[in-house]
Amino acid sequence: MINILANDGISQAGVDNLKAKGFNIITEHVAQVDLINTINTENYEVLLVRSATTVRKDLIDACPHLKIIGRGGVGMDNIDVDYARKKGINVINTPAAASASVAELVFAHLFSMTRFLSDSNRKMPMVGDTDFKALKKSYAKGQELEGQTLGIIGFGRIGQEVAKRAIGLGMNIMAHDTFIEEANITLNFFNGDKKSFTIETESLKNVLSNSDFITVHIPKIDDKAVIGAKEIGMMKTGAGIVNAARGGVIDETALMFALDKEKLAYAGLDVFENEPTPSIHLLMHNAISLTPHIGAATLEAQDRIGTELAEQIATHFDK
């Protein structure tokens, strides 16, 4: 029987699927320092991780019986992918499973930003009973998303899911992508009707300078921020920005400066440069909507991730 360690957990759907296919699946978390010894002692041939566990060269070299390393999600920056593949290990992930969940979180942040929900939820418990009218007045300049322009930086699976929801809200779409020139977006409605749209991508400068809100869905490249002081300078004064992609894609120092100088009105952050210890200055800022890297953290996404990983593992060992 093939032993699988899902070190950062896996949905019950994934567990059930793997067990039904004859695999032995263990979901108890093993500390990083004990991982090599546990893999070798328990003869695990498959290691499944999310973002909490790292799989670097030392582990790959020390665990010669590993056949598969799986990442539940899109990004694999916590795995030395190329090195593992050179060593003959199959590295898998689930790039499409969480796209809808991340896209919906983007709009949670957009609504939180434009209607001051993040700041309001902090202050209401403290002074809502004594300063109700003052709070009401301070949040009186909210914005509607309908009719606003959303700039999407990175127009792959997640970016296109964001576009679908933006279209449904009546927003205008601008998109930038290095590799995609145009994309066909199809909206499926509750009554079975469908409506398709073709969106052509544009230059980064055009998207930044003409959008009321920016959302980024690209990886960090060469440890450099994609959105730094120069790019923020191209944005509209009073615009907002959301990062639910990777920490460091937006230069947090430049972002804080832009918020303090009111170049930008607000930001929404699900990921941070220094996870799991983000800057306290970011966390305390009243113009930033915050979540702790939960883009894929929905029950539906976790079920899709677990099922998709199970199918890929079964396919590998059926060869």
- Per-residue confidence at 32, pLDDT binned at 50, 70, 90? very high
pLDDT for the residue numbered 189: 95
Q: Which residues contact residue 45 at a Cβ distance below 8 angstroms, ignoring those fewer than 6 apart?
A: 2, 3, 4, 65, 66, 67, 68
- Per-residue confidence at 34, pLDDT binned at 50, 70, 90? very high
**Residue 60 and residue 14 share a domain:** yes
- Compute the average pLDDT of residues 252-259: 98
**Residue 149 and residue 128 share a domain:** yes
Residue 84, domain extent: 3-95+299-318
- 195 to each of 33, 137, 184, 290, how far by Cα in Å? 52, 40, 10, 33
**Residue 138 and residue 210 share a domain:** yes
**Residue 145 and residue 229 share a domain:** yes
Q: DSSP string of 201-212?
A: ---HHHHHHH-S
**Residue 168 and residue 40 share a domain:** no
Rounded to whole angstroms, how far apart are CA atoms 282 and 278? 7
Helix and strand numbers (H, E) in the chain are 13, 13
**Residue 103 and residue 173 share a domain:** yes
**Residue 125 and residue 191 share a domain:** yes
- CB neighbours (10 Å) of residue 164? 16
**Residue 271 and residue 138 share a domain:** yes
- Residue 283's H or E segment, with its range, is helix 280-284
Q: Are 310 and 18 in contact (CB under 8 A)?
A: yes
With tokens 């990004």, the residue in question is: 75
- Compute the average pLDDT of residues 299-318: 94
pLDDT for the residue numbered 319: 63
Q: Are 89 and 83 in contact (CB under 8 A)?
A: no
pLDDT for the residue numbered 293: 93
Rounded to the nearest integer, the mean pLDDT of the chain is 96
Q: Which residues contact residue 133 at a Cβ distance below 8 angstroms, ignoring those fewer than 6 apart?
A: none
Q: Which residues is 288 bridged to in the sheet?
A: 267
pLDDT for the residue numbered 75: 80
**Residue 284 and residue 156 share a domain:** yes
- Per-residue confidence at 206, pLDDT binned at 50, 70, 90? very high
Q: Which residues are tagged catalytic?
A: 246, 275, 293
Q: Which residues contact residue 211 at a Cβ distance below 8 angstroms, ignoring those fewer than 6 apart?
A: 149, 150, 151, 174, 235, 236, 239
- Choose the weakest-confidence range: 3-7, 24-28, 93-97, 140-144: 93-97
* Residue among 167, 250, 239, 170 at smallest CA distance from 216: 250
- Per-residue confidence at 224, pLDDT binned at 50, 70, 90? confident
pLDDT tens digit sequence for 73-131: 888 889 999 999 999 999 999 988 999 999 999 999 999 999 999 999 999 999 999 99
**Residue 111 and residue 90 share a domain:** no
In a 3-state reduction of DSSP, which class is residue 60?
helix
91: domain CATH number is: 3.40.50.720
Q: Does residue 278 have a cis peptide bond before it, meaning omega lies within 30 degrees of 0?
A: no
**Residue 207 and residue 248 share a domain:** yes
Domains: count for the chain = 2
**Residue 20 and residue 60 share a domain:** yes
pLDDT tens digit sequence for 122-153: 999 999 999 999 999 999 999 999 999 999 99
pLDDT for the residue numbered 137: 96
